[in-house]
Amino acid sequence: MELPTTPSFRLDGKRALVAGASSGIGLACAVALAEAGAEVTLAARSTDKLAELEAALVAKGLAARSLALDVADVAATEAAVAAEGPFDVLVNSAGLAIHSPAVDTTEPDFDAVSDLNIKGAYFLTRAVARGMIAAGTPGSLINISSQMAHVGGIDRAVYAATKHAVEGFTKAMAIEWGPRNIRVNTICPTFILTPLTRPTFDDPVRRAWVEDKIKLPRVGQVEDIMGAAVFLASEASALITGSALMVDGGWTAD
């Protein structure tokens, strides 16, 4: 009997760009991809934090380099990606959340969240895809979305709107670039305990809401996203595109 061979989760020889790599989910994804064998370009606005992460990865014998990048600056992002690429993998974890009741949303807050979460994400994904297309190589483009791309949430009308939009352009890009073997997917985490979400977890009412919605008996940690990122970046997910990988502890199950 000839047995099937499990596709590799390894990323040896691959070049990965991780935006928003200076903290939280982005940092964890950068570590995961590097540990899987990728050469990782760490991108964020906070270059001091990037330098610290780069040094820690290199000290472990992993391949990493830093790149100052503001995803909200479309022209600068496109120029940087063109100069540094082509890449085989993108993980975009750059994002912004400004929460308020919908009746209190200000136009500047709306614009700030939209400019990064939708516009920035769209053009970063396109920039990396352009490099793949020019090089004639396959690739995996991953945007860190949210469970809020599939449900609503308290004080999160703008944030949820932007993440719903990410799911929309992910599906459209997946259709367009599928014939080139370029896959486009999202990872949709629940509330992950990071410095960004600390105010929510410090609010007893909000924490009770989160813990009631998550079906598993704990909240999320950044480690919960690391395997998902490696999976979608690797050949183990070779037939997956236009999809949202829910890492939500069962939040969206009902």
Q: What is the domain partition of the chain in residue ranges?
A: 15-188+238-247
**Mean of the per-residue pLDDT values for the chain?**
96
What pLDDT was estimated at residue 93?
A: 97
What pLDDT was estimated at residue 206?
A: 87
Convert the pLDDT of each residue in 219-235 to its tens digit.
999 999 999 999 999 99
Q: How confident is the model at residue 196 (pLDDT cuts 50, 70, 90)?
A: confident
What pLDDT was estimated at residue 54?
A: 97
- Superfamily for 15-188+238-247? NAD(P)-binding Rossmann-like Domain (3.40.50.720)
Q: How confident is the model at residue 94 (pLDDT cuts 50, 70, 90)?
A: very high
Catalytic (active site) residue 122 = no
Convert the pLDDT of each residue in 57-67 to its tens digit.
999 999 999 99
Given 87, 122, 123, 159, the catalytic residue: 159
CB atoms under 10 Å from CB of 59, counted, come to 8
**Residue 37, token pair as written in the block:** 């064998």
What pLDDT was estimated at residue 199?
A: 84
pLDDT over 90 (residue 121):
yes
Q: Is the peptide bond before 86 cis (omega within 30 degrees of 0)?
A: yes
Task: Return the minimum-mean-pLDDT range out of 92-101, 177-186, 198-207.
Answer: 198-207
pLDDT over 90 (residue 46):
no
- Residue 46 to residue 92: CA distance in whole angstroms: 15
One-letter amino acid of 245: L
One-letter amino acid of 32: A
Convert the pLDDT of each residue in 138-178 to its tens digit.
999 999 999 999 999 889 999 999 999 999 999 999 999 99
Q: How confident is the model at residue 41 (pLDDT cuts 50, 70, 90)?
A: very high
90: helix, strand or coil? strand
Convert the pLDDT of each residue in 60-87 to its tens digit.
999 999 999 999 999 999 999 999 999 9
Radius of gyration for the alpha carbons in the chain, expressed in angstroms and rounded: 18
What pLDDT was estimated at residue 125?
A: 98
What pLDDT was estimated at residue 64?
A: 98
Looking only at Cα atoms, what is the longest distance across the chain? 65
Partners of 15 in beta bridges? 39
Convert the pLDDT of each residue in 125-148 to its tens digit.
999 999 999 999 999 999 999 999
